[in-house]
């Protein structure tokens, strides 16, 4: 097989937005198998009893401009827990001039769910497992949201083999950016299963070491999970 054409396209992926109630319920179900009601109850305790997060029953994933000056203080509050190193790094550098989650027009009664400055006074070792898990999701999302874009080069290689053209696609990471800040079990870190390609130039020849034909069958739709009705309700609410 001979490389006939190579196309490399620089790309970037912006950080995910902050949490609203529905998005947090979905992630809590995926990662901890909490029901929507369990997650809301935990958030209410964190909001009312511990006062470490903002109003939980919000449908906005954005902040208004007036909240931006407090972001550094909230990151500092996050640095008392598992995100001490991550948040500490973010505190010591300027925030981006334009952040995707800042938009006054997309905030009505309540902005996105973020930690409060009271988190710095909270003894995390005294929190129950569920409260600590939800609080860590919210703290990590704030750190991730202010991170740099994830930059990579998308590469498409076309090869001629016996008169038939085959193509393969892969990526080369240029800058991890916000993906380096995501929890290991967070779905936003592993949402791309893209192969890494070797360095190839036009005209390079490669030997075909083998071929394989895979046969399969389509699967029926999966059963509903706790996440399914939550996602559907969220979709209907925005139609």
Catalytic site positions: 55
Interacting residues of 109 by C-beta distance below 8 A, sequence separation 6+: 58
Q: Which two tokens stand for residue 208?
A: 């075909």
DSSP-derived secondary structure letter, 109: S
- As a whole number of angstroms, the distance between CA 179 and CA 170 comes to 18
Task: Sort strands 2-13 and 150-161 into parallel, antiparallel or unpaired.
Answer: antiparallel
User: For 173, which DSSP code?
Assistant: E
Q: Residue 11: which of 202, 121, 151 has the closest Cα?
A: 151
Spatial separation of the C-alpha atoms in residues 141 and 114, rounded to whole Å: 8
């Amino acid at each position: 097989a001979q490389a006939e054409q190579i196309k490399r396209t620089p790309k970037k992926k912006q950080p995910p937005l902050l949490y609203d109630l529905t998005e947090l319920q979905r992630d809590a179900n995926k990662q901890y198998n909490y029901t929507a009601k369990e997650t809301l109850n935990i958030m209410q305790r964190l909001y009312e009893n511990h006062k470490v997060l903002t109003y939980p029953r919000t449908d906005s994933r954005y902040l208004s401009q007036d909240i931006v000056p407090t972001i550094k203080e909230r990151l500092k509050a996050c640095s008392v827990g598992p995100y001490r190193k991550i948040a500490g790094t973010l505190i010591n550098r300027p925030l981006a001039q334009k952040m995707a989650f800042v938009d006054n027009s997309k905030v009505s009664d309540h902005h996105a769910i973020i930690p409060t400055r009271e988190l710095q006074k909270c003894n995390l070792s005294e929190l129950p497992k569920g409260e600590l898990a939800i609080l860590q999701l919210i703290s990590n999302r704030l750190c991730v949201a202010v991170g740099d874009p994830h930059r990579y080069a998308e590469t498409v290689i076309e090869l001629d083999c016996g008169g038939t053209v085959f193509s393969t696609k892969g990526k080369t990471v240029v800058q991890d950016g916000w993906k380096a800040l995501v929890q290991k079990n967070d779905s936003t870190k592993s949402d791309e299963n893209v192969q890494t390609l070797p360095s190839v130039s036009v005209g390079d020849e490669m030997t075909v070491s083998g071929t394989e034909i895979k046969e399969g069958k389509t699967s029926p739709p999966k059963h509903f999970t706790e996440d399914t009705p939550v996602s559907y309700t969220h979709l209907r609410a925005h139609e």
